[in-house]
Amino acid sequence: VTEKGTHLSETANAYAFEVAVDANKIEIKKAIEKLFEVNVVAVQTMVRKGKVKGLGWRTWQRPNFKRAIVKLKPGQAIEFI
């Protein structure tokens, strides 16, 4: 839950989810429709690279993750409890 995600849900009827890196748009669409019983219009995805962190001379990278922005039909919403 971020400010951008909250703004998307209020203005564009879109919701942001963190999904598996190997998931594609079709799988994401089917999963959201099945879990929340809504009709998905569009899915946009982005892979976010993990940050490089360091302590002294050691460095490591946090894992990459994928974010999906799912747009729903007008009049539908996802209620988070």
Per-residue pLDDT tens digits for 41-51: 999 999 999 99
Two tokens, residue 60: 């490591």
Which stretches in the chain have pLDDT values below 70? 81
Total length of the chain: 81
Residue 27 near residue 34, CB atoms below 8 Å: no
DSSP bridge pairs for 77: none
pTM: 0.83
Please report the pLDDT score of residue 81 as a whole number: 67
Please report the pLDDT score of residue 3 as a whole number: 87
